[in-house]
A and B are shown apart, each in its own frame.
Chain A
Amino acid sequence: MWQDLPLWPNRASALANRVDALFIFLIAVCGFFAVMIFVLIFVFAVKYRRSKNPVPTQIEGSLILETTWSVVPFGVFLIMFVWGASIYMVEARPPKNAMEIFAVGKQWMWKFEHPEGQREINQLHIPVGRDVRMTMISQDVIHSFFVPAFRIKQDVLPGRYTTTWFHAIKPGRYHLFCAEYCGTMHSGMIGEVVVMEPATYQAWLQGGTGEGSLASTGQKLFQQLGCSSCHRSDTQGRGPNLAGVFGKPVLLDDGRTVAADENYVRESILNPGAKVVAGFKPIMPTFDKIINEEQLLSLVAYVKSLAQPEQREPVSNRPAVTPHSAAATQRKQ
């Protein structure tokens, strides 16, 4: 019978314990206040019913009571706020070195791409005991990546990447839902997250199609599309050298500085004129409508791979960040 009537969701991530602890605290505190109000109403309604208490006692109010029931609840609310915000800040900051999975949501399916190149639809295989960071984008309307057993949910937007992360602690199969209404088959945009022991996960990875890693797919595309003729690996290209760029601040030709994150790389491919690196001309053509979201993700993965530590030492060879070109930009303004 209890199989048919679950009352508490699976607890399969490190975060789930923290969220449940706050939830239980909220039930306890709010339950106390609710029961207090219900009991008072019931007792007063019986004790002071008109047949028993025909003449009411007029009471104006009480400043002490008003202050008490304003300040005390607010104090309790502050505890809830701080507790809730502290969990949220953990959710908002994926750990460094998390394993990275890309997701594309579209009406009405989820596509996942592993860094090793495996692709899957509506199923996400991940190892237990590792931090996993999701970088997600939608091809059409807004979707939302929701795994109740992990207590995480993140809207998946068209036009820019959003991220979330989790750390699974219990092998098993868990529901994956789309939580933002997305049209006809919204309730069919479901899948499962398969949490596996690390060894099993490795075996599963080996069983893949062997198309090569996501970054290597991106590298091939980088050559095919001719990106490499301008983004050369020296300082002579007409576009900036992309080695070591990812994750660093970039000085733009209007004097602003932006962080070279996934969304910046994506925007620079689709709308190259929006944020041009200082010292370069806005000559790059747009690749909007030429490549799809999955190809974009592989390019992002490739640019990201260029920032790996072993390739990261020489940062200063780019004109973008030399004092001279920055000053030239200043003069132009």
Chain B
Amino acid sequence: MATVAAPAVERENYLNTDYGIRSWLLTVDHKRIAILYLISITFMFFIGGFFATMIRLELLTPAGDLMSSDTYNKMFTMHGVTMVWWFLIPSIPAVLGNFLVPLMVGAKDMAFPKINLASWYLFMISAGLLLYVMLTGGIDTGWTFYVPFSTSYSNSHVIAAGVAVFINGFSTIFTGLNFVVTIHRMRAPGMTWSRLPLFLWSNYANAVIMLLATPVLAIVLVLVALERAFGIGFFTPQLGGDPLLFQHLFWFYSHPAVYIMILPSMGVVSEVVSTFCRKRIFGYAFVALASIAIAVLGFLVWAHHMFVSGMSAYAAMVFSLLSYCVAVPSAIKVFNWTSTMYKGSISMATPMLYAMGFIGLFTMGGLTGLFVAALGVDVHVTDTYFIVAHFHYILVGGAVMGYMAGIHFWWPKITGRMYSEVWGKIAAGVIFIGFNLTFFPQFVLGYLGMPRRYHAYPPEFQVLNTLSTAGASILAVGYLLPLLYLLFSLKYGEVATDNPWGATGLEWRTTSPPPTANFEESPVVTWEAYDYSSIPEVPVAR
């Protein structure tokens, strides 16, 4: 592990130091843990994708004919549960963040490498439990676990699934803890806060949310389990509880969780846009502080999920106003990314295509957020496909596009190989088209009034549902393509140089892939973030 970097005949890196299985399962190297996470969440992504496929196939026709209602209810529940907790929340932080945070601050590893490994083991235990739940009958409460359905009426594995999410939450907390401490305490000499790459700013803000919000999820899951198992009346009125208490607690976590999913993507996009425009991010300080503003305001808007729940109309007005406030920092980011392109020297490589896709689709998702923040409109569209479309634009059009941008951008650094640029661009295009065809019709369906979580629907909604299913099949191809050409590149890809894109971050100033200790000598930072004059001119042919 702690060997001195060997001279450059065959450069030693974190991948070739040891090939044994123990060297992976007992590693405390943040880069290897990132790889472990990458494999695990990719597997979970395709499981979640399988459920999505079943949903879209069922909705191809108005009648509920492909599977039973109970099966359909389990499909959308397990799609949501898997994608939210076992893919989106760990995606960028646990893979790219784990790999990059120590590299970007100029450190040898995370502050707590063993806690980092423990985080992955907790994730795997929770994933195993979730797979057990899936294979032994599943869960049908919706990913939101609404009471009293989940505590008193559902006949599925609510407690087991709750325990899985509970354990999963601690893997999130461990990751967040490591990020906060590493970014505070382990920055290289000269790496001041104002020189921090924006990826770190957004992951820092994100880690704070992970630390503060996730425990509330743990609490509410314990309460649900206690009520379900022992009949202790927290939420069910017949037992003396209040179902709205559950909703307040659940959304107090789950709204910030949306920002857990999107903030890291914003960080990726900042890095990618700057690099492929060869230009400092326009309004660096505003983009950085917007992340903090989102993290803080994100805690104050939870009840906008509850405008028709029966809570006080005056409370609803406060939450509507605060929801508009949290839209401002998001708007600031979009304007700054767009302005960064102005007078840049723009290369349309695959990561940039994904980043541009992110900006466009996140803008659509954010702007439709303004629709649902408007009380009078939300009453009509909440719990319809309008909401489904809105959050998929944020979480798939935004978060997953950002994740794809990041995976492609740092792929040469992580693996030491270049992927096929041609296939990369094709896949980005296919994903963009498939995504829009899948989800745009759902905005129309929602305003027409089609409720979400419907196994069967009135026949007049069929044309739009068919379009959506057609789009989903294109999207599925789009997601399978990268799996193939990225794996292909591991063996046949061109060997990557240390800094193939001409980017400025510290991670590009070490070898590709980096040595176990990250840097041959500890870096000292004397330049501002995104200072393209600080690196030798790199010809980028792509």
Which residue numbers of A lie inside 8 Å of B, CB to CB? 3-9, 18-19, 22-23, 26, 30, 33-34, 37-38, 40-41, 44-45, 48-50, 53-62, 65-66, 69-70, 73-74, 77-78, 80-81, 83-89, 91-92, 107, 140-142, 144, 146, 148-149, 151-155, 157-160, 162, 175, 177-188
Contact = CB atoms under 8 A, between A and B. Distances in A.
B344 A56 contact: yes
A84 B282 CA distance: 34
Given A141-B149, A144-B383, A48 B377 contact: no
B308 A144 contact: yes
Interface string B447-464: 111011111111010111
Nearest to A37: B363
Top-5 shortest CB links A-B: A159-B237, A148-B449, A87-B376, A84-B374, A88-B375
A56 B347 CA distance: 11
Contact of B368 (A30, A48, A88): A30
Contact of A88 (B238, B356, B376, B464): B376
Interface residues on B, range: 35 or more
Contacts of B342: 44, 48, 59
B371 interface: yes
Given A34-B364, A158-B237, 11 more contacts: A7-B448, A22-B374, A26-B371, A49-B348, A59-B280, A70-B328, A80-B324, A107-B153, A152-B379, A153-B382, A184-B70
A18 B376 contact: yes
Contacts of B377: 19, 22-23, 26, 84, 87
Interface of B: 64, 69-70, 73, 140, 142, 146, 148-149, 152-154, 236-238, 242-244, 277-280, 282-286, 307-310, 313, 316-317, 320-321, 324-325, 327-328, 331-332, 334-336, 338-339, 341-348, 356, 359-360, 363-364, 367-368, 370-371, 373-380, 382-384, 444, 447-449, 451-458, 460, 462-464, 532, 540
| B interface secondary structure, majority | helix
B234 to A, nearest CB: 13
Residue of A53, A152, A179 with most chain B CB atoms under a 10 A cut-off = A179
Contacts of A177: 449, 451
A49 B483 CA distance: 29
29 contacts: A5-B463, A7-B444, A7-B448, A8-B447, A26-B377, A37-B334, A37-B359, A41-B359, A45-B348, A48-B277, A56-B532, A61-B284, A62-B282, A66-B332, A74-B325, A74-B328, A80-B324, A88-B313, A141-B152, A141-B153, A148-B448, A153-B383, A157-B243, A157-B244, A159-B243, A177-B449, A181-B146, A183-B153, A187-B454
Contacts, number: 270
Given A87-B376, A151-B380, A45 B341 contact: yes
A4 B462 contact: yes
Contacts of B237: 157-160
Contacts of A149: 449
Nearest to B380: A151
